[in-house]
Amino acid sequence: MENTWDVNLVITDNDMPLMNGLELTQHLRLNKTRDELAIIGLSASNNPDLIPQFLKAGANDYLNKPFNQEELYCRIHTVLDMQDASEQLYFLANRDDLTGLWNRRYFFNFADENPAPFKSIAMIDVDHFKMINEKFGHDGGDYALKSIGQMLNTAFSSALPARFGGEEFVVLCTGNVDVFNAELEAFRGQLENTMMSYQGQTIRLTTSIGVASGEQSLPHLLKTADDKLYAAKDNGRNNIVY
């Protein structure tokens, strides 16, 4: 069922060869929640038990045949509107509103749901960010953080960047550590050489980065990466400590 990943609505009759609508609904629900995939069941059967059976199997809605075409359209619009609302709530809860990156909550949920024996954590902190806020105001600081978020969003081939809070970011990698380290260095260099234009002025930024890799728990790696972040600052900032 890999081809269903781009599908957000399935309308299925219960009376089909090989697999009936109830079985199809149950099969689809193994990989997709109601919020991710809307399913509407149909049947010409007079069996009153089909409605609760379809809903219990995971259908969003059910219609008896024959039905009015307008009613079908209304049901479709209703389930898709609910799906859109659920998606918006999900992003509000898990996306950082300023940078567009995933937030701290999503980061920890993602790590719990995608455990890996070996992983790398990078803690990233913007150098002298207080001075940026003092010189350019908080709107200027927000502009800078948003720009960094955009860079982080495209900097990694297989790692997950997130905003941890304030001017601090975190990146989780479960792939090739050498590639990850090279991408971190490329990001650090890109930011160092970027001149952000803000209200006729130029903002220049650097970051200090601490990296921890291994098979330890996520809290342990986060603590180690944070310690190395402070070592990077002690080393003069604008560098990475592994």
Residues catalogued as catalytic: 167
Q: How many CB atoms lie within 10 A of CB 147?
A: 17
Distance from the first to the final alpha carbon of the chain: 41
Name the strand (E) or helix (H) holding 139. helix 129-155
Could you tell me which residues are beta bridge partners of residue 169? 124, 163
Q: Which residue has the tokens 């809290």?
A: 219
CA pseudo-torsion sign 229, 139, 137, 187: positive
Name the strand (E) or helix (H) holding 79. helix 69-94
Q: Which residue has the tokens 């220049």?
A: 204
Enter the tokens of residue 120. Answer: 């790398």
Enter the tokens of residue 104. Answer: 């701290």
Q: What is the spatial distance between Cα 164 and Cα 8, in angstroms, rounded to a whole number?
A: 31
Burial of 47 (0-12, 13-18, 19+ CB in 10 A): exposed
Burial of 8 (0-12, 13-18, 19+ CB in 10 A): middle
